[in-house]
Structure 1
Amino acid sequence: MELTGLIIVVIVAMVFNYTNGFHDAANAIATSVSTRALTPRVALAMSAVMNLIGAFLGEGVAKTVGDGLISPPSGTQGLVIVLASLLGAITWNLITWYFGLPSSSSHALFGGMVGAALAASTTVHWHGVLWKIVIPMFVSAAIGFLVGYLLMVAILWTFRRSNPHKVKRGFRVAQTVSAAGMSLGHGLQDAQKTMGIVVLALTVTGYHHGDSIPWWVTVMCALVMSAGTYAGGWRIMRTLGRKIIELDPPSGFAAEATASMILYAAAFLFKAPISTTQTITAAICGVGTTKRLSAVRWGLAGNIVVAWVVTMPAAGIVSAVMYWIVHALVG
């Protein structure tokens, strides 16, 4: 019975991983597509490959997700908690994708884990939730905004006497590199989050011990996320690439380079599972303010911020409901 339940949970985890891929594909390529540095399909293919590579570059984020947030009991009860966490996250991903809101798949998963754990009256490591999730959520967005602004100011100052057309052509080429770097960071961050939840399911059923990530989990998560990325998230891509500010190649490069640096620093230095969505959106807003404050569509940005804040509790509520339903069915 537990083995069957484990297989179901792993399949649902891959569904979440796939939705994460197409939901967050826009993070890496929206700016490159909107500035015409890359065509959509070429950008998606490149992003899928770099996501695949990024998934193999570390395990720190996966370990944080797997043992730093909740401690579900062993056996069927633990599996139900993990399953409810995933179902809540998937539901919220689909809702925000439908409305074109670039919310965080990561925080949907974390909110789902906490909501399901609370519904089951099991242990939530609030210190870990605060210091590994909530604080990095706000800090990464603030740093993304500030660094995006400063990097764009540096670019404008450096190329102030250069031919604008030549500068744009050069930055279109540079965007190929920055978009690849952003995709690599997305794979490094987001594929590991699914690895962590799969390892958690394996641990509660006794099929895995320790904090290492089995090779087959890494390969499976990397391949599924890449497939989801290639499927594309066109609704969210339009929001990030066109609706917040009008991007040109230099500003697109600045936003992507900023987000990439923050994703790598969070993963390698702090083992913190930050949101690629929030990081790139904050960087875009920071870049946009170098033109003028009115260049950023603050009304839309405000809606996105609301979606960020609402994501964890909303996904938590959905996961709590899912837990009660699944628990009732399992008996």
Structure 2
Amino acid sequence: MTATLIILAIVIVTALAFDFTNGFHDTANAMATSIATGALKPFTAVAISAALNLVGAFLSVHVAATVAKGIVNLDSYDISTAGGSVPVDGEALLMVVFTGLIGGIFWNLFTWLLGMPSSSSHALFGGLIGAAFAAMGTAGVAWSSIAGKIIIPALVSPFIAAFVSACGTFMVYWITNTIPHRVKNEHFRHGQIVTACLVSLAHGAGDAQKTMGVIFLALVAAGEANPDARLPTWVIFGCAIAIAAGTLSGGWRVIRTLGKGLVEIESPQGMAAEASSAAIILTSAAGGMALSTTHVSTGSILGTGIGRKGAQVRWGVAMRMAAAWLITLPCAAIVGFLSWWIANGVSSFSSTVVGAIVDFILLIAMATVIVIRSHMNPVDASNVNDDWDSNAETVDSSITVEQAAASTTLQPVAVGVTEPAPAAEK
């Protein structure tokens, strides 16, 4: 096996690992409100979401094309077509993809530790941008595509989702104002199940494709695929299974924040939020726009608090989320940038394969530290619906988003968490 194929295998494994983290990180987007209102039992909810994420991954490949051709500028490399000789630059581009994935996985795991619904999509894009910039400079990044299909939608989509959801919530309560509260909630719980399923389907249609695009980019870099070819079937199946498996694992920390921490939510609100999210995400996926399901779903949930008279919105938690969104791209980009330099530095003394292996070991070490830290304050199906501490702004109040940024800047790969600050008073 050649060095290029070894690196390609590492990249594919890492991409599927990112897809898995995307699944458990974003389960909350579809199921948090249904779990919070009791419309679905926790394990039932994640099982349904996993199945529909699997189905959704086969609905479209337009977003995959955006990721494969719209982040890293392939014109900066002399990539040969399938069947030709593997170019010298192929290994370098594989390392860009690999170190970009490290940036995405790191940010997914760190924000999961906080229970913060940060965008997996933007973590991936940020990692790729940082790695491409480190390897190729400004010419290596497709800036115009990023601005039009990633940054602008990221800024606009939460506000659109909040507006649509607020209007929907207001209309629902206005139309049903003569129906007894208990009866209203009971009927809307059934509607929530349907709309939650639509969001899960939409998530599979959008987010699984992002990993498909990354793997396809790696195949092009290795000379195993033509840039204009269709996605291989095995890539679609592999990514669909990975994101479904991640969804099935739960992601309870983020589910708790969205279901209990942002808005005290009732079934009519949950249905309005999920219907708004599904409509926006499915529309964007059909148009090839790599929209963040996290931004849309969080905006929709926040909108239900605005649209329902007397609803409690925890603006402190909302501001933490907004801060996490703003720093996701740059923080993941820094991790991708530094990961590429670590691998490149090792490669200068040994080989590209050794550089990739060193980065892979550091990634595993970082993930292990974060998982161990999460067990200090476990969140699972048994406590995901417990009352939210009014003094807490994350599920782990000993760690803040600002510390996340500092940790990313100073120790981006080898260390996953900072020293905890004093815990908030209960």
Calculate the TM-score normalised by the size of structure 2.
0.76
1:307 equivalent to 2:309? Answer: no
Shift of 1:328: 2.0
Residues 1:158 and 1:315: Cα distance change in structure 2 (over 3 Å): same
272-281 or 118-127, which moves further after superposition?
118-127
CA distance in structure 2 between the partners assigned to 1:288 and 1:43 by the alignment = 23
Match of 2:206 among 189, 209, 214: 189
The answer for the alignment partner of 1:13 in structure 2 is 15
> 1:154: how far off?
1.2
CA distance in 1, matches of 2:311, 2:187: 27
**Counterpart for residue 320 of structure 1:** 337
Question: For 1:33 and 1:211, how far apart are their aligned partners in 2?
Answer: 42
Find the residue that maps to 2:66 and give its secondary structure: helix
Contact 1:37–1:175 (8 Å) recurs in 2: yes
Q: Give the conservation status (yes or no) of the 8 Å contact 1:132–1:272.
A: yes
Give, as a single letter, the amino acid of the residue that structure 2 aligns with 1:21. G
Letter in 2 for 1:8: I
| Residue 163 (structure 1) shift | 2.5
* Number of positions where the alignment pairs a residue of Structure 1 with one of Structure 2: 330
TM-aligned CA deviation for residue 293 of structure 1: 7.5
Mapped to 2, the partners of 1:211 and 1:13 lie a distance apart of 20
> Equivalent residues in 2 for 1:27-38 (5 A)?
27-38=29-40
DSSP-derived class of the 2:60 partner: coil
Q: Measure the CA separation in 2 of the matches of 1:319 and 1:106.
A: 14
Partners of 1:63 and 1:211 within 8 A in 2: no
Matches of 2:185 and 2:322 in 1, distance apart? 30
The residue number in structure 2 matching 1:224 is 242
The structure that has the greater radius of gyration is 2
* Change in CA separation of 1:303 and 1:211 when aligned onto 2, cut-off 3 Å: farther
SS in 1 for 2:136: coil
Query: Could you tell me which residue of structure 2 aligns to residue 249 of structure 1?
Result: 267
Secondary structure at the residue paired with 1:286?
A: helix
1:171-210 to 2 correspondence within 5 Å? 171-209=188-226, 210=228
Distance 1:193 1:293, change over 3 A: farther
CA distance in 2, matches of 1:24, 1:217: 21
**Which residue type is aligned with residue 231 of structure 1?**
S
- The correspondence for 1:146, drawn from 163, 172, 194, is 163
**Structure 1, unaligned stretches of length 5 or more?**
none
| Deviation of 1:161 (Å) | 1.5
Quote the residue 1:47 is aligned against. 49
* Corresponding residue to 1:90 among 101, 105, 125: 105
Counterpart secondary structure, 1:15: helix
Residues 110 and 94 (structure 1), Cα distance of their counterparts in 2 relative to 1, 3 Å cut:
same
Q: What is the CA distance between 1:140 and its match in structure 2? A: 1.2
Are 1:260 and 2:278 an aligned pair? yes
Cα distance change of structure 1 residues 293 and 106 upon mapping to structure 2, 3 Å threshold: farther
As a proportion of its length, which structure holds more helix?
A: 1
Letter in structure 1 aligned against 2:146: V
CA distance in 1, matches of 2:101, 2:279: 29
1:240-274 alpha-carbon deviations (Å, 9 max, x no partner): 00011111111011111111000011011x31111
Instruction: Give 2:72's aligned residue.
Output: 70
Counterpart for residue 60 of structure 2: 58
Per-residue CA distance 1:96-123 (angstroms, 9 max, x = gap) = 1111111001000001111111111242
Moved more, 150-159 or 184-193: 150-159
User: Is 1:298 matched up with 2:315?
Assistant: yes
Q: Which residue is equivalent to 2:390?
A: none
Question: Cα offset for 1:153?
Answer: 1.1
Q: Tell me whether 1:119 sits opposite 2:147 in the alignment.
A: no
Task: State TM-score, norm by structure 1.
Answer: 0.98
Answer yes or no: is 1:286 the counterpart of 2:288. no
Output one character per residue of 1:12-54: Cα deviation in whole Å (capped at 9) or x when no partner.
0011011111111111100000000000000000000000000
Question: Once the two structures are aligned, what percentage of the paired residues are identical?
Answer: 43
CA distance in 2 between counterparts of 1:80 and 1:48 reads 31
Residue 183 (structure 2) pairs with residue 155 (structure 1): no
Residue type of the alignment partner of 2:163: L
**Offset from partner CA, 1:298-321 (integer Å, 9 cap, x none):** 111011000001000000001000
Q: SS at the partner of 1:75? A: helix
SS of 1:121 mapped into structure 2? helix
Amino acid at match of 1:97: W
Letter in 1 for 2:6: T
SS at match of 1:289: helix
Deviation at 1:329, TM superposition (A): 2.4
Tell me the equivalent position of 2:290: 273
Residues 299-308 or 69-78, more deviating: 69-78
Q: CA RMSD in A?
A: 1.1
Shift of 1:211: 4.3
Aligned equivalents of 1:26, 1:278: Cα separation in 2: 12
Mapping of 1:233-248 within 5 angstroms? 233-248=251-266
